[in-house]
Structure 1
């Protein structure tokens, strides 16, 4: 039976391999293959949707002179709207620096040479101005620049356009302190005929953009969506290239994800919408279309949707749409990670330091797991005490394996020892520690968060590699306290070099994660000393015979 350190090392090695493997799957460039456009139940196909300027060069040339960029500034946004289509073509988050200490706002959405990430919305259908049969509408605005005034709670940016008897106002409403934007279409039919339009919203992003995650961090960049029946589904770019998404749902949402940030369109929650994706000209698109709407002569209607662009703040996202908070992706252990995240943020509210909060939650989790840890070490000690008797049985029945098994079980029963007692506690604890790991990986709150001394960003690696070295030393001490029951010389050498290997591996890990593992090791050392002292008083050996 191996010690806790052996099991933990094996578990860490397995998890690390799986994370590295998933990183390769998620970030490896994929060839862009043409896809067949699917038609929807309303008779309006994905081909009717206008994407970017690259998709309609002739139309752009016709109206280029009239188009202009409208800038919008709030306390949380620096945003650029293209008057052609009313598309969001640039969005920065001034509360989040691109690189810590440099002062540059994080550019979530942008149009650069070779890369594009924009949010589009419009009206298609028989009389929609954004139908592919028409050039994109060029809206007019009273000003080219809008800013949220000091002390104001709301900023409204109206864009106007007239199209074949339809008077259209596309209105963006920004609220102070909020990353969700209300996008409305106010449409008045000034003609003598019934007009039919269909709203759509989608995000467009270049697929092979050269932006990858660190090999040590399992960062997902791609799309996701939610329906009334399935709250959260990842839909990676390679999925888009294989098959177009086509999901009918009441409400729902679509999103583009990157490590700490998300952009999302949330259509009217009361209408029957169609979620879709497509790939065109090397760009991945995920969006939603609402039902076609008939507008009687002289009638006015309002079509509303919500656009979100900002940090993965679980509380805010949960209020916007059902399941949108799951874009903070804790994987299959989300039901454990979410309570742990709540506990972490609660602790941080008292200690006002995320590094101290990590130490506190590690103390709490390790303390809660102490009964299992005690069972584990006591079980291993009993197994060590039984080793002479086990060796005797193995020598007696070495020629008769069928009798050896029952004899071993009888020995365990007689001595009241569970041979799995050392493994089961670790199996129970591992999901909790993995869930806590994902909390640290996914929480935007840790991005650029300082700890103390030389650690000024818990989401970045230790600049002087002090924590990885301390982690390796603590791992080495744990091995000394609980020598491995390994007789093979090669295995002994491998285990001896494990602390060094993991110290090197952790050099590139975020310092918050290394802090967590280091503190966890220190607590384990203290627990070992305390448990071993109690077992020695009972006459149980705590070291290898």
Structure 2
């Protein structure tokens, strides 16, 4: 049994929290704790997927008899599709994206900032939304014409279609891209028919691409390739690994490049028989979703389908499409808590109209909920504080006899009814809430470019104008470190000199760590520290009154 103070317990709890937060995934992989797929089960799943794919091919999904009309190719042109949410520019020579601007999201916090463009000039060279047919790029090796196109901006509630027809490698290809004014989702129907009089097979792949211009960079907003396969999110951000290429197969829900706040993804119709291929080349993150071979019969056409999401990672909008797509927002192992906290954050925001104030109100609510537990922890700290002189005497008396020292300390605890762990347990109970709130604040697109105090007081310099970015002047993390130091001074000191030295450096370590944290997360921690100091002060006064009365 150790005779450490509650201050040490608090520090250990916080260190444990951060260790789990930042190191669990790495440690689990390193130690082999991450469950590995059973080879036999994987083989069965693969066989089942292949069987379903064969049935799909044999049935020639949505096969219809259709006479092939005369096809006259025309030079490609740019077609603009405008909705209340975005403006897309699509080249009719294959249906590839030239631009995709999000009307409600600015690239920077500057007043004259252009909108976020998920497909800029560099990305357009990789032909996002292009079809790869039998390994050939349909946009560069095929001939195309436009059969129908949106002629006016879409009003709320409206939808429209862009219909392209082309020929490539002996196939007639028809693409129908369906746009909705109320969603970032684009639905596609693709029709394939052989031009000759022989049956044949074909292989189709959908593509999507993005560069890193919409990611802030660093560990909190890194660009990566992600996929949702077998009801689990997978992703790869390491540039070296992505340059070599990544692949995945199984029950595929979606795949594509994403940052913390934006996603460009392909959603195949059906979830079996497709393969994901991702690569980073020339600074462009490119993903292809490849269908199994399709059997084609002369005089008939096969229909395939897929959808594309190009837009913000806003859970409410993603959920309107599917639960797996909402999995692009990473809420961690305590996702249920994180979802509830996000809901509360949005609830407060609709009344105060400031995300910083909403974070403060949420922090106050969390503090109020855990007030009894924290009070119990502080009460334990006070009891431990009163026992410090006696424990020091025991340490000195039995410094050469550890066993006897522990027995005497245990007897001291029993005599005064003190449980040394009682100060730590309430903190551990709160860790899931901290984990959930950490992930919620770290991934909520609502905090992107959301301001709390836009200008530094008495200056014209931008300060907390973006709660998803770090404090540019490091004011909040430094104040946070000072409040942590004050909390430490109000707590009983550790009896061991080495522990005292460690505790002295803890606020400094946390301050350095928080310098790069998003300011919204630092704001939560700072307000929580201030409330904890206030509660600790109230407990001190209450105990002094009780001592005076006794």
Alignment of 1:79-228 (within 5 A): 79-100=88-109, 101-112=111-122, 119-122=128-131, 124-125=133-134, 131=136, 136-141=141-146, 147-150=152-155, 153-163=158-168, 166-188=171-193, 191-205=196-210, 213=216, 218-227=220-229
Q: Aligned pair count?
A: 493
Contact 1:225 / 1:235 at 8 angstroms: preserved in 2?
Answer: no
Distance in 2 of aligned mates of 1:13 and 1:221: 28
Contact 2:131 / 2:138 at 8 angstroms: preserved in 1?
Answer: no
What residue ranges of structure 2 are gaps of 5+ in the alignment? 27-48, 52-73, 456-463
Distance in 2 of aligned mates of 1:133 and 1:444: 35
In structure 2, the residue matched to 1:58 is none
CA displacement, residues 498-530 of structure 1 (integer Å, 9 cap, x when unaligned) = 667766765654332232222212211221122
Distance in 1 of aligned mates of 2:278 and 2:507: 47
CA displacement, residues 277-324 of structure 1 (integer Å, 9 cap, x when unaligned) = 356677553332223222333223321111001110112223434422
In structure 2, the residue matched to 1:529 is 537
CA displacement, residues 409-429 of structure 1 (integer Å, 9 cap, x when unaligned) = 233233221122222222332
> Given the superposition, is the C-alpha separation of residues 399 and 456 from structure 1 closer, same or farther in structure 2, using an over 3 Å criterion?
closer
Distance in 2 of aligned mates of 1:466 and 1:241: 39
CA displacement, residues 307-346 of structure 1 (integer Å, 9 cap, x when unaligned) = 0011101122234344222221233333432222122223
Distance in 2 of aligned mates of 1:214 and 1:170: 36
> Given the superposition, is the C-alpha separation of residues 445 and 387 from structure 1 closer, same or farther in structure 2, using an over 3 Å criterion?
same
In structure 1, the residue matched to 2:71 is none
Contact 2:224 / 2:236 at 8 angstroms: preserved in 1?
Answer: yes
SS at match of 2:377: helix
Distance in 1 of aligned mates of 2:214 and 2:139: 34
Distance in 2 of aligned mates of 1:232 and 1:212: 19
Query: Could you tell me how far 1:265 is from its partner in structure 2?
Result: 0.4
Shifted more, 168-177 versus 479-488: the winner is 479-488
SS at match of 1:223: strand
Contact 2:243 / 2:281 at 8 angstroms: preserved in 1?
Answer: no
What residue ranges of structure 1 are gaps of 5+ in the alignment? 24-39, 43-64, 541-545
1:7 lines up with 2:10 in the alignment: yes
Alignment of 1:242-281 (within 5 A): 244-249=246-251, 251-269=252-270, 271-278=272-279
> Given the superposition, is the C-alpha separation of residues 233 and 424 from structure 1 closer, same or farther in structure 2, using an over 3 Å criterion?
same
SS at match of 1:91: strand
Distance in 1 of aligned mates of 2:399 and 2:486: 37
> Given the superposition, is the C-alpha separation of residues 82 and 8 from structure 1 closer, same or farther in structure 2, using an over 3 Å criterion?
farther
SS at match of 1:80: strand
Query: Could you tell me how far 1:395 is from its partner in structure 2?
Result: 3.1
Contact 2:94 / 2:166 at 8 angstroms: preserved in 1?
Answer: no
Distance in 2 of aligned mates of 1:282 and 1:449: 29
1:72 lines up with 2:81 in the alignment: yes
> Given the superposition, is the C-alpha separation of residues 422 and 453 from structure 1 closer, same or farther in structure 2, using an over 3 Å criterion?
same
TM-score, normalisation: structure 2? 0.77
> Given the superposition, is the C-alpha separation of residues 20 and 88 from structure 1 closer, same or farther in structure 2, using an over 3 Å criterion?
farther
TM-score, normalisation: structure 1? 0.77
1:441 lines up with 2:455 in the alignment: no
Root-mean-square deviation over aligned CA pairs: 3.9
Contact 2:132 / 2:206 at 8 angstroms: preserved in 1?
Answer: no
